[in-house]
Amino acid sequence: MSTISENIHRLINKKIDGELTEAEARRFDDLLSDDEKVRTYYRQMEMLDHSLQEAGKEKETADVSREVMEYVQQTGPDKKQSGKVRMQKRFLPPGQTVLRYAAVLIIGLLIGAASILFLRPETVFVDEGDMRATMTARSGQSLNIRQEDWHLQINPMVMNEAVILIASLQSESDLEVHMSFNPDIYQLVRTKSLKGDIERLPASNAGSVAFPATGDVMFQLVMNQRSGMTGPVQVSLLQDNRTIYQSEIFID
């Protein structure tokens, strides 16, 4: 259904929301009678709208008023402050506000400089024997799993709509690295061997890649991320077709 143009998509959305002008309604009717693809797309969008409306009708309730009011009674009103509730906001004279902003700016700059100079990527370590891990891929974070006979490290880089995973594996035995992801969200652009002998894989719509890996290898996986969507990348290590390690990397 990717052939539906932006204009038709907008027109269908306006129709669903009941916001078509008379001229747009005529154009919409013409399109609907002329084009089977538009009819199918409209039917699907209408069904989606209906399902969302139905889902919205399910309502649950919770009563937290007692707990909240208990807190309110314990903390407010502060009698020492002329019977007024103690509020967090403090109003400062303009001069003091400027000084405060300047101080915040200077501290921010110092922290920024310090993080460039001294901070190293945050590392997610996994306890020995723990064969599962999840991590959130943010700038400067890495997954680092060291076991007796293998060491896996994954450094993700998340840019606008591209995800780059650089993985290095040192292993004494023959292992296989599997990475899988939702192909509706991520499209493999390429894989590249950075160290060792790993076959280069071209762009594909498949939702997984696998490499045999022995010794000291490093490879790069480049994927496009569909705008507005996110999902985990699953990483597994296999030995003799048996999964010996699994982790999930959430792209943030």
Partner 1 sequence: MQEDEYTLIKNVQTGRTRDYEILVKRYQGAVYNLLLKMLYRPEAAEELTQEVFIKAYENLGSFNYKSRFFSWIYRMAINTAISYRKKEKRYVHPDKLPDMKDNQTEATIMVNERDKLLKHAISLLKENYSAVIMLKYYEALSYEEIAEVLEIPEKKVRSRLYDARRMLQIHLEKSDYFK
Supply the DSSP string of 174-200, one letter for each residue.
EEEEEEE--TTTEEEEEEEEEES----
Over the window 159 to 188, marking each residue x when it contacts partner 1 by CB under 8 A and - when it does not, the resulting string is -----------------------x-xx---
Residue 210 CB, nearest approach to partner 1 (Å) = 23
143 and 129 in contact (C-beta within 8 Å)?
no
- The least CB distance from residue 179 to partner 1, in Å, is 18
Q: Which of 25, 29, 30, 47 binds partner 1 (CB under 8 A)?
A: 47
Query: Would you say 158 and 165 are in contact if contact means Cβ atoms under 8 Å apart?
Result: no
Retrieve residue 247's tokens. 């982790």
Residue 71: CB minimum distance to partner 1, A: 5
Residue nearer to partner 1 on the CB measure, 19 or 127:
19
Query: What distance in Å separates the CA atoms of residue 155 and residue 190, rounded to the nearest whole number?
Result: 17
Interface with partner 1 (CB under 8 A), residue total 53
Residue type at position 110:
L
Q: Is 21 in the site for partner 1 (CB under 8 A)?
A: no
Q: Nearest approach, Cβ of 167 to partner 1 (angstroms)?
A: 21
d(CA 23, CA 33) in angstroms, rounded, equals 16
Amino acid identity of 220? Q
The Cα 247–Cα 249 span in angstroms is 7
Q: In the complex with partner 1, which residue's Cβ is closer, 170 or 182?
A: 182
Burial of 249 (0-12, 13-18, 19+ CB in 10 A): buried
60 lines the binding site for partner 1 (CB under 8 A): yes
Residues that bind partner 1 (CB under 8 A): 1-2, 9-10, 13, 16, 41, 43-45, 47-49, 51-53, 55-56, 59-65, 67-69, 71-73, 75-77, 83-85, 87-89, 134, 136, 182, 184-185, 226-231, 250, 252
